[in-house]
Chain A
């Protein structure tokens, strides 16, 4: 029976694929389950034109839209490993432009530099300034749960608990679940009235 079924199956597959391309105009989400079948692979029939996709999620990969849900490795090269000097720049023509060098105690990323400033403002008791600097950091790295959480905790110290709660929930939305920071934010939310 198998020999009867296979050619029909393959044919229907190919025609279905061809039909999808020109027909209803929604090609992307087509996923060919039967293509994954070992039977097809085992036979001498040419492989279908439609590339097969894995049938079981890794969620990041089954999504038909190209990198709709990127894995972490899909993040754009936002920074070139801050702190590590990138290829030596060519010497400046006129002004002595010294090669980048890291000084001890000098923060390497803008976020780290701003967090130091946040600490300084907090130490000086200037909470609003601390919040302003934390927001500057948030604008630079808007998906950093820690920065949002930092801002939330400053708002809480100012007694602006409604704002603190909203910002903390935002922080939580950027934190991977069951990580220490997520737990900490949850605890923090629990302390708010």
Chain B
């Protein structure tokens, strides 16, 4: 646009009489007074507003940072994936932060450093040597020597945008590369440091240039005027607005330093658009166009950014690369002619190819299911307004490797189990948590990658079937009245309870196993034996156990609860199994680890909490059976595919008419819950073992889940019991035995105990004496 080339005419009046003159003069005086008052008002407002200048900043959500150290369970591919995602450049020579190089088993990188809630992570040069899926060793350079531990900066996974859609990363002037400042001054306002807000010389020069060219090729607006216009004025091009702009610019210059004005400009200016998100300021533009930080950009890249304020859409380098390069070269030429750069630098930069992102990095499209959980967690402490405007940095527990691997596996895995083949109707939900801390590592709300609709992980509240059984058996083992070798009756029963019809449960496939050991009944998921056990233990005890394991809603007191007619969302199931994986220590599932201000000052931290809800000895006995599920029970079919990761613990779950197929299981590092089912609650044709277990296995194999290394509590003793469960000691057959863990004072029943009753030879002859 062309600045004020017209002048306001002074009010003309006809000299008629002295009185008339006096009248005119007083009118003039009044007008001047009004003008002065207007000036004072503008001056006051500018001072007030600019001093309090504060942008509405979106909250930034980060994934968990990758920790690199010798022994870490991280592969070279995993590290380089992460580096690429963070915008690191692969380079043959490491010269700057944000670059890496690979050779054989080694990745060398120069980290950027980051302001975490627990302190600053420095920018470091490190070499990382891999040995398969683990880091073997890590070292730095002469200066740093051995590097025990490096934390990469966290990847941004989402924004919570302010209502106006503006996004920016505020930056202070000392962090802006001088080349960028010079480029902007050269092309937008070359007398910036000498004018006083408006630049008459600049206006004249622009006028001449525009007249010569016959079109508008230069603007005469100073940076100050542009800033004022963007901050406080609307877009209309009226004379009054022009005057206002000039006055405000003058007032701004009067009260604030050049550096303050320049900083505000660098942060305010509009530089791009992505959907309804407006990219403001150069720091964010660097991330947006190059996935790099401003101080990592080269001269040509800075010049490209400096050319954008003139028309961010017109010169958009992603859409119009030729225009953008042309504009960049104009900027470079100005820098050369004004002596900011040397001729060789100019030549190099001019010749540099355009290296912008092909597409803008995804925003908010990434992990909607996880983000819903984050929003739930944040809503406890932050209102929506704070999240949209205060620029909070939110550090979450999402593990990008786990999430991406799970998503990459899930769709194919679901397709592979679906019956009839790949109708696309079968839906899925997955929750993966850290087995120790309860931190949520990955969530899928549907089978489709990045699915943003109905979030089944949180909202598909379904009967959990046999997934409830560990609570039944744990309550039994904890009571002290039962051992792994207690003999249960797996025979048909009919139960009558108040206010409910008579209930006659049956086993899957209507098998009847008769007398069975307790551990066997859990491993092979026998319904009738479980009902037998649960009724002896008491429904109240089972409900109470579910509560202790972390289920927060009321458990109905019907016998059918023993077989899982209690509805839970996958994330609720994950909490139960998290407590089992924690050896009886419950740690609430968490998605948010810390919240800081935009500059990194800690506001809130959500630390590891853990509370013992079951004694470790009872837990150990239960886990023997849950490992038995893989060793001998319903998850045996997964053994081959999981071989390297065994032993693992878990449980299959199937509901009536095969409506839900569940598997929940854990290793030393991860807990995973998989649910499969149809949204219309129809028959899936899948049991827990033929559906969810296979999906779980595919995911956990891809994640290289770590074997359980549960340390036996000191008081556990191993004793032999007869292989065949009997209730009468006279029928005991100790020729074949099985060794099971027991607790002192809760040893096997004499009817099955083959441990210490007389010498071996005595028994041998007793048995064969008749021959």
Residue A185 interfacial (CB < 8 Å):
no
Instruction: Establish whether residues B71 and A80, one from each chain, have CB atoms under 8 Å apart when the complex forms.
Output: yes
Instruction: Establish whether residues A132 and B594, one from each chain, have CB atoms under 8 Å apart when the complex forms.
Output: yes
Instruction: Establish whether residues B94 and A95, one from each chain, have CB atoms under 8 Å apart when the complex forms.
Output: yes
Interfacial residues of chain B within 600-617, with CB under 8 A of chain A in the complex? 602, 605, 607-612, 616
Residue of A nearest to B71 (CB): A79
Interfacial residues of chain A within 107-121, with CB under 8 A of chain B in the complex? 107-110, 112-114, 117, 121
A144-177 toward B: CB 8 Å interface, digit per residue (1/0)? Answer: 0000000100000000000100110110011011
Residue A5 interfacial (CB < 8 Å):
yes
Q: What distance in Å separates the Cβ of B667 from its nearest Cβ neighbour in chain A?
A: 12
Q: What distance in Å separates the Cβ of B34 from its nearest Cβ neighbour in chain A?
A: 57
Q: Which residue in A33, A78, A82, A93 is a CB contact (below 8 Å) of B103?
A: A93
Instruction: Establish whether residues B117 and A132, one from each chain, have CB atoms under 8 Å apart when the complex forms.
Output: yes
B709-724 toward A: CB 8 Å interface, digit per residue (1/0)? Answer: 1111010111010010
Residue of B nearest to A58 (CB): B718
The segment from B144-152, B231-239, B270-278, B400-408 found at the interface with A is: B144-152
The segment from B290-298, B695-703, B730-738 found at the interface with A is: B730-738
Q: Which residues of A contact B142 (CB under 8 A)?
A: 98
Q: What distance in Å separates the Cβ of B744 from its nearest Cβ neighbour in chain A?
A: 13
Residue B739 interfacial (CB < 8 Å):
yes
A77-109 toward B: CB 8 Å interface, digit per residue (1/0)? Answer: 011101101100110111111111111001111
Residues of A contacting B: mostly:
loop
Q: Which residues of A contact B602 (CB under 8 A)?
A: 128-129
Q: Contacts A57-B718, A75-B709, A103-B145 given; indicate if A92 touches B103 (C-beta within 8 A).
A: yes
Instruction: Establish whether residues B738 and A114, one from each chain, have CB atoms under 8 Å apart when the complex forms.
Output: no
Q: Contacts A97-B127, A99-B139, A166-B609 given; indicate if A28 touches B632 (C-beta within 8 A).
A: yes
Residue B418 interfacial (CB < 8 Å):
no
A10-B608 Cα distance, complex, nearest whole Å = 57
Q: Which residues of A contact B129 (CB under 8 A)?
A: 86, 89
Residue of B nearest to A130 (CB): B118
Q: What distance in Å separates the Cβ of B146 from its nearest Cβ neighbour in chain A?
A: 5
Instruction: Establish whether residues B739 and A62, one from each chain, have CB atoms under 8 Å apart when the complex forms.
Output: yes
Residue B101 interfacial (CB < 8 Å):
yes
Instruction: Establish whether residues B610 and A5, one from each chain, have CB atoms under 8 Å apart when the complex forms.
Output: no
Q: Contacts A32-B736, A90-B104 given; indicate if A139 touches B146 (C-beta within 8 A).
A: no
A83-B94 Cα distance, complex, nearest whole Å = 26
A56-83 toward B: CB 8 Å interface, digit per residue (1/0)? Answer: 0101101111111110001110111011
Q: Which residues of A contact B348 (CB under 8 A)?
A: none
Instruction: Establish whether residues A33 and B624, one from each chain, have CB atoms under 8 Å apart when the complex forms.
Output: no
Q: What distance in Å separates the Cβ of B721 from its nearest Cβ neighbour in chain A?
A: 9
Instruction: Establish whether residues B607 and A142, one from each chain, have CB atoms under 8 Å apart when the complex forms.
Output: no
Residue B552 interfacial (CB < 8 Å):
no
Q: Which residues of A contact B139 (CB under 8 A)?
A: 97-101
Instruction: Establish whether residues B136 and A16, one from each chain, have CB atoms under 8 Å apart when the complex forms.
Output: no
A86-B103 Cα distance, complex, nearest whole Å = 18
Q: How large is the interface on A (under 10, 10 to 19, 20 to 34, 35 or more residues)?
A: 35 or more
Residue A25 interfacial (CB < 8 Å):
yes
A177-B714 Cα distance, complex, nearest whole Å = 7
A127-B636 Cα distance, complex, nearest whole Å = 48
Residue B412 interfacial (CB < 8 Å):
no
Q: Which residues of B contact A85 (CB under 8 A)?
A: 137
Instruction: Establish whether residues B93 and A69, one from each chain, have CB atoms under 8 Å apart when the complex forms.
Output: no
Residue of B nearest to A102 (CB): B146
Instruction: Establish whether residues B437 and A139, one from each chain, have CB atoms under 8 Å apart when the complex forms.
Output: yes
Q: Which residues of A contact B708 (CB under 8 A)?
A: 68
Chain B CB within 10 Å — which of A53, A67, A80, A108 has the most?
Answer: A80
Q: Which residues of B contact A12 (CB under 8 A)?
A: 735
Instruction: Establish whether residues B611 and A166, one from each chain, have CB atoms under 8 Å apart when the complex forms.
Output: yes
Q: Which residues of B contact A169 (CB under 8 A)?
A: 585, 610, 612
Q: What distance in Å separates the Cβ of A92 from its nearest Cβ neighbour in chain B?
A: 7
Residue A37 interfacial (CB < 8 Å):
yes
Residue B455 interfacial (CB < 8 Å):
no
Residue of B nearest to A4 (CB): B771
Residue B646 interfacial (CB < 8 Å):
yes
Residue B300 interfacial (CB < 8 Å):
no
Q: Which residues of B contact A131 (CB under 8 A)?
A: 605, 607
Interface size on B, residues (CB 8 A): 80
Residue of A nearest to B768 (CB): A5
A106-B709 Cα distance, complex, nearest whole Å = 31
Residue A18 interfacial (CB < 8 Å):
no
Q: Which residue in A20, A89, A142 is a CB contact (below 8 Å) of B436?
A: A142
Q: Which residues of B contact A140 (CB under 8 A)?
A: 67, 69, 72, 149
A48-B616 Cα distance, complex, nearest whole Å = 38
Q: Which residues of A contact B652 (CB under 8 A)?
A: none
Residue of B nearest to A72 (CB): B711
Q: Which residue in B134, B585, B738 is a CB contact (below 8 Å) of A31?
A: B738
Q: What distance in Å separates the Cβ of A30 from its nearest Cβ neighbour in chain B?
A: 6
Instruction: Establish whether residues B710 and A173, one from each chain, have CB atoms under 8 Å apart when the complex forms.
Output: no
A94-B129 Cα distance, complex, nearest whole Å = 16
Instruction: Establish whether residues B628 and A65, one from each chain, have CB atoms under 8 Å apart when the complex forms.
Output: yes
Residue of A nearest to B104 (CB): A90
Instruction: Establish whether residues B714 and A82, one from each chain, have CB atoms under 8 Å apart when the complex forms.
Output: no
Residue of A nearest to B65 (CB): A136
Instruction: Establish whether residues A110 and B149, one from each chain, have CB atoms under 8 Å apart when the complex forms.
Output: yes
Residue A55 interfacial (CB < 8 Å):
yes
A109-B57 Cα distance, complex, nearest whole Å = 39
Q: Contacts A4-B771, A95-B93, A170-B610 given; indicate if A82 touches B717 (C-beta within 8 A).
A: no
Instruction: Establish whether residues B119 and A117, one from each chain, have CB atoms under 8 Å apart when the complex forms.
Output: yes
Instruction: Establish whether residues A106 and B146, one from each chain, have CB atoms under 8 Å apart when the complex forms.
Output: yes
Chain B CB within 10 Å — which of A29, A89, A92 has the most?
Answer: A29
Instruction: Establish whether residues B146 and A59, one from each chain, have CB atoms under 8 Å apart when the complex forms.
Output: no
Interfacial residues of chain A within 2-38, with CB under 8 A of chain B in the complex? 4-5, 8-9, 12-13, 16, 20, 25-34, 37
Q: What distance in Å separates the Cβ of A178 from its nearest Cβ neighbour in chain B?
A: 8
Instruction: Establish whether residues A109 and B612, one from each chain, have CB atoms under 8 Å apart when the complex forms.
Output: no
Q: What distance in Å separates the Cβ of A96 from its nearest Cβ neighbour in chain B?
A: 8
Q: Which residues of A contact B737 (CB under 8 A)?
A: 31-33
Instruction: Establish whether residues B720 and A31, one from each chain, have CB atoms under 8 Å apart when the complex forms.
Output: yes
Residue B512 interfacial (CB < 8 Å):
no
Instruction: Establish whether residues A167 and B734, one from each chain, have CB atoms under 8 Å apart when the complex forms.
Output: no
Residue B87 interfacial (CB < 8 Å):
no
Residue of A nearest to B137 (CB): A86
Q: Which residue in A75, A117, A138 is a CB contact (below 8 Å) of B608?
A: A138
Supply 14 further A-B pairs (C-beta < 8 A) apart from A25-B636, A67-B707: A1-B771, A33-B734, A60-B712, A69-B711, A80-B136, A93-B103, A97-B108, A102-B146, A109-B69, A121-B118, A131-B607, A139-B436, A173-B585, A173-B616
Residues of chain A touching chain B, judged by Cβ–Cβ distance below 8 Å, are: 1, 4-5, 8-9, 12-13, 16, 20, 25-34, 37, 53, 55, 57, 59-60, 62-70, 74-76, 78-80, 82-83, 85-86, 89-90, 92-103, 106-110, 112-114, 117, 121, 128-129, 131-133, 135-136, 138-140, 142-143, 151, 163, 166-167, 169-170, 173-174, 176-177
Can you list 19 A-B contacts (CB < 8 A)?
A33-B734, A62-B739, A69-B710, A78-B134, A86-B137, A89-B127, A92-B127, A98-B141, A98-B142, A101-B146, A110-B67, A110-B148, A121-B118, A135-B437, A138-B437, A140-B149, A151-B608, A167-B609, A177-B714
Nearest first, the 3 closest Cβ-Cβ pairs linking A and B are: A29-B738, A79-B71, A132-B118
